[in-house]
Amino acid sequence: MSHKHRVSPGATDRGDVVDLLVTNIGELCTIHDPDLDESVPRRREDLGALNAIAGAALAVGDGKVVAWGEEEALVRELWGETGLNPAVETVDAGGACVVPGYVDPHTHAIFGRTRQDEYERRIRGESYLEIAAAGGGIQSSVKDLRQRSEQELVDLAVPRLREMLRHGTTTVEIKSGYGLDLDWELMMLRAAGAAAREAGIGLVRTCLAAHEIPPEYRGDREKYLDIICREILPRVAAEQLADRVDVFCEPSVFTLAESERILAEASGLALGGTIHADELEPYGGAILADRLGAESADHLIEIDDAGIAALADSRTVAVLLPGTVFTLGLDHYAPARKMIDAGCALALATDFNPGSCPILSVPLIQAIACTQMRLTPAEALVASTRNPAFALDMAHAVGSLAPHQTADFLILDGDDHRLVPYRAGHNPVRAVFSGGKKVFSQSSRPLNDV
């Protein structure tokens, strides 16, 4: 009896399996260059390198990127003269631009009510810190959250996360930080996990118990620091409820020494670290982040020359959140160009939260980054994909279309990546693929047909 050699459907001449081929891609931004050291985030002139291919196709197998190239050459390379294997599903991109799914490395997406009352108060002249001192700000979201159930928080978060996915975010970081107490912080992290699963979005969780001193410990901050270090973080680690720990490091919130204590505790528990650094005042948060080997230092609106020097060529990614400056109506942004020139590894995030930034659209954040911080559209794209994947320690899996990466990618509604920030306020995403599966699509006329 002879055994016939069975060829799997979609098998290519070189032995790998392809189950999806995206064809007719006008501009495929792979953000992968075999000639670069891709084990580190992009800096300086490499920040704007998209490694784009025109007239391309993208081959996906088992949820991962298999290969890409100029369409005819790729089909020949994969299936020889017999041409495209009929077992392979094809998606026609209609000449559009295809980019990796966006990675949003800083959000506070679990919360109760929205805070448009504070938005109006700021427009009328009060500052973020004045509103916080009068019982608004983070404290008002804490009070609100503590009146809600875990299921309520999940139900509020799922539509927000779906909205992010529709705007192209396939991996999101979500922080706790409106609980400020063992049970509430754990509840927020569990709610983040359940909501992301239900919405079908990739998740990295961060414990931000050090977002603020809760009202009940205002007279004894040492006690709350002990609770964070001795109760909250050990439970978060034991129950694997977060991958990393964050601290709001500001003279008026947690000091440098307190931040260091919390992040040292996190590192002892094998949790990653990140810092809300130099947001409201220049304080040395970026320098601390670099010294502790943190994954990222975020905000950096007020970073000074010493901070920039610390993050230059550091493993710590500089995450900028221009939507916060825009929403708060501040008069200046983080010095992005100076930071790029110095060699900081820049990434962008939304900071989506009910107070300082209700924007959840990465395309809109890119638009603000381009006009207000002078990033080029290509730099904004790399800062929304490959570099934030490093900030989340996820670059082995997401953030580019390198072979073997998770097949998270977007089909846009134009043939040029520059159309994304150029059309600020428009959702340019026509289809979202996560792990090689289409999770969202909307029909719209490609812009290049106009």
Angstrom distance (rounded) from CA 208 to CA 306: 26
Nearer to Fe ion, 351 or 408 (CB): 351
User: Does the protein bind ligand NIG through residue 356 (CB under 6 A)?
Assistant: yes
141 binds ligand NIG (CB under 6 A): yes
Quick note: the x/- pattern for ligand NIG over 251-280, rule CB under 6 A, is -------------------------x--x-
**428: Cβ–Cβ under 8 A, 6 or more apart, which residues?**
168, 363, 412, 413, 414, 419, 420
Contact 97, 29 (CB under 8 A): yes
3-state DSSP call for residue 449? helix
* Packing angle of the helix pair 150-166, 182-199 (nearest 10 deg): 40
By C-beta, is 43 or 106 nearer to Fe ion?
A: 106
Residue of this chain nearest to ligand NIG (CB atom):
355
Query: How many chain residues bind ligand NIG (CB under 6 A)?
Result: 13
Let me know how long the chain is. Answer: 450
160 binds ligand NIG (CB under 6 A): no
Binding residues for Fe ion, rule CB under 5 A, total 1
Min dist CB 356 to ligand NIG, Å, is 4
Stretch that binds ligand NIG, among 180-188, 234-242, 347-355, 399-407 (CB under 6 A): 347-355
Window of 18-26, 163-171, 230-238, 350-358 that interacts with ligand NIG by CB under 6 A: 350-358
- CA atoms of 303 and 121, how far apart (whole Å): 27
Binding window for ligand NIG (CB under 6 A); candidates: 71-79, 84-92, 133-141, 184-192: 133-141
CB 163 to ligand NIG: min, Å: 19
Q: Which of residues 339-398 bind Fe ion (CB under 5 A)?
A: 351
Kindly tell me which residue out of 79, 224, 248, 254 binds ligand NIG, with binding defined by CB under 6 A: 248
Q: Which is nearer to ligand NIG, 281 or 341 (CB)?
A: 281
How are beta strands 296-299 and 102-104 bridged, if at all? unpaired
Rounded to a whole number of angstroms, the minimum distance from the CB of residue 3 to Fe ion is: 60
Nearest approach, Cβ of residue 394 and Fe ion (Å): 19
Q: Which stretch binds ligand NIG (CB under 6 A): 5-13, 60-68, 331-339, 354-362?
A: 354-362
Surface-to-core class of residue 297, CB atoms within 10 Å of its CB (0-12 exposed, 13-18 middle, 19+ buried): buried
Backbone angles phi, psi at 331, to 5 degrees: -95, -5
Q: Do the beta carbons of residue 174 and residue 206 sit within 8 Å?
A: yes
Kindly tell me which of 141 and 387 has the beta carbon lying closer to ligand NIG: 141
Min dist CB 212 to ligand NIG, Å, is 8
Question: What is the nearest approach in angstroms of ligand NIG to the Cβ of residue 6?
Answer: 55
CA distance 211 to 221: 13
Q: 118 contacts which partner out of ligand NIG, Fe ion, none, CB within 5 to 8 A by kind?
A: none
Q: What is the DSSP string of 60-77?
A: EETTEEEEEEEHHHHHHH
Distance of CA 233 to the CA centre of its chain: 23
Considering only residues 300 to 329 of the shown chain, the ones binding Fe ion according to CB under 5 A are none
Q: 320, 295, 351, 294: which is closest to 174 by C-alpha?
A: 351
Contact 321, 275 (CB under 8 A): no
By a kind-dependent CB cut-off of 5 to 8 A, residue 137 interacts, out of Fe ion, ligand NIG, none, with ligand NIG
- Least distance in angstroms from the C-beta of 330 to ligand NIG: 11
3-state class (DSSP) for residue 411: strand
* Least separation in angstroms between CB 248 and ligand NIG: 5
| Candidate list 112, 214, 285, 354; residue touching ligand NIG; CB under 6 A | 354
Q: Does the protein bind ligand NIG through residue 351 (CB under 6 A)?
A: yes
- Whose structure tokens read 């930080």? 177
**Is residue 137 involved in binding ligand NIG (CB under 6 A)?**
yes
Q: Is 138 in the site for ligand NIG (CB under 6 A)?
A: yes
27 CB-contact burial (10 Å; exposed 0-12 / middle 13-18 / buried 19+): buried
Ramachandran category for residue 374: left, alpha or beta (phi over 0 → left; psi -120 to 50 → alpha): left
| Closest residue to Fe ion using C-beta atoms | 351
Q: Which residues pair with 433 in a beta bridge?
A: 409, 438
What's the min distance (Å) between Cβ of 338 and ligand NIG?
22
Tokens 């294997």 identify what position? 85
Task: List contacts with Fe ion (CB under 5 A).
Answer: 351
Task: List contacts with ligand NIG (CB under 6 A).
Answer: 108, 137-138, 141, 248, 276, 279, 324, 351, 353-356
